[in-house]
Amino acid sequence: MRGFMLEAPGRVRLCEIPQPQCGPGRVLVRPRAVGICGSDIHAYHGLQPSMVYPSALGHEIAGEVAEIGEGVRKVKVGDHVVLDPAISCGTCRTCLAGKPNVCEHLKVLGVHVNGGFADYVAVNEEQVFVIPDSIPFWIAAFAEPLSIGAQANFRARTCARDFVLVLGAGPIGLATLAVAKDRGARVAIVDSVPRRLEVAQQMGADLTLDLMKDDVREAVLGATSGAGADVSIDAVGSQPAIDQAIEAVKIGGRAVVLGLSPADVGARCLPILKKELDVYGSRMSNHQFEHVVDLMAEGRVDPSPAITHRISFDQVAAAFELAESKNVDAIKIVVTF
């Protein structure tokens, strides 16, 4: 079968690789759409510390069940599915404590083992979630970013009375916005790219702030009668974004660090202490896939405005070039099979 392999930092090629076997409790999936994530680009540049070379990239996967192993009951051949890319051991202290997303032996599709940029991918039954046939594969592939946004809102305890500030209107920031809106919150979102702020408005943002023009803290104070945001969620990972997330949140508020940065960043301790903030990390997702599939199936969340480009698998190298190009019109790029 074909696989788009990252053989070493900066070196990728489409080549023949062995087809994975479908053993007991396993499901063989034929990918139909796979999103390109910022972490894929980090891996290409050698900035993904967990990356195992060589591996087929791709962890935002929607596809069709091609084969099921002995004992599989959750799905059948022909089902349309999305995949949770996290592979947890189920037996370590962290898994037993109900946090498989931070398993002590965590592996991830497209990072530690071959991912979705291949003709087939084999996964454990518990990683597979059926989607309605009515959801196109190219939209369903956004389930994984949505699951990350759902986890961030879960960690923040976002509720209907909250004013939420999201730093960054990339795919993860937009996913976080969409889930916060479904929870009934008012949401402000910040970015420096006007096109991304336009998409954020389409996806329900109550307030969009241009980092190059607006005073974020003053705008948030103005929208909250001087209190500040109940919740701030950093979906960038830069030092300025984390600083803004801490500064704009109210006394006694909650801040979530979600953005991934290849560089070390930190938070200023004094405002955290003075305001007695709850500060949370958020990694991948913990039992959020069924929820986000329901959100899409019921029409409560429509991620399609964020998916700006669809490119066929035989042009996957060009898709990665576009993802790297800093094209302001490119938000989420999905490769279709």
% pLDDT > 90, the chain: 77
* Half-sphere exposure of residue 167: CA atoms within 13 angstroms, side-chain side: 28
What pLDDT score was predicted for residue 326? 77
Mean pLDDT computed over 274-292 = 95
What pLDDT score was predicted for residue 28? 98
C-alpha pair distances (Å), 211 with each of 167, 204, 215:
10, 19, 7
Mean pLDDT computed over 71-81 = 97
Written as six digits, the tokens of 305 are 């405005």
What pLDDT score was predicted for residue 133? 96
Beta carbons within 10 angstroms of residue 30's beta carbon:
15
Cα-only R_g, the chain: 20
What pLDDT score was predicted for residue 84? 98
Q: What is the 3-state secondary structure (H, E, C) of 288-314?
A: CHHHHHHHHHCCCCCCHHHEEEEEEHH
Per-residue pLDDT reduced to its tens digit, 249-263: 999 999 999 887 655
DSSP state at residue 69:
-
| Burial degree of 13 (CB within 10 A; 0-12, 13-18, 19+) | exposed
Residue with more model confidence, 308 or 40: 308
Given phi > 0 = left and psi -120 to 50 = alpha, else beta, which region is 184? left
Provide the pLDDT confidence category of residue 97 given band limits of 50, 70 and 90: very high
Residues in a beta bridge with 15: 3
Provide the pLDDT confidence category of residue 47 given band limits of 50, 70 and 90: confident
Mean pLDDT computed over 244-251 = 90
What pLDDT score was predicted for residue 263? 58
Pair 53, 8: CB distance under 8 Å: yes
Please tell me the distance from the alpha carbon of residue 58 to that of residue 144, in angstroms, as a whole number.
Answer: 11
Does 264 have pLDDT greater than 90? no
- pTM of the predicted model, to two decimals? 0.94
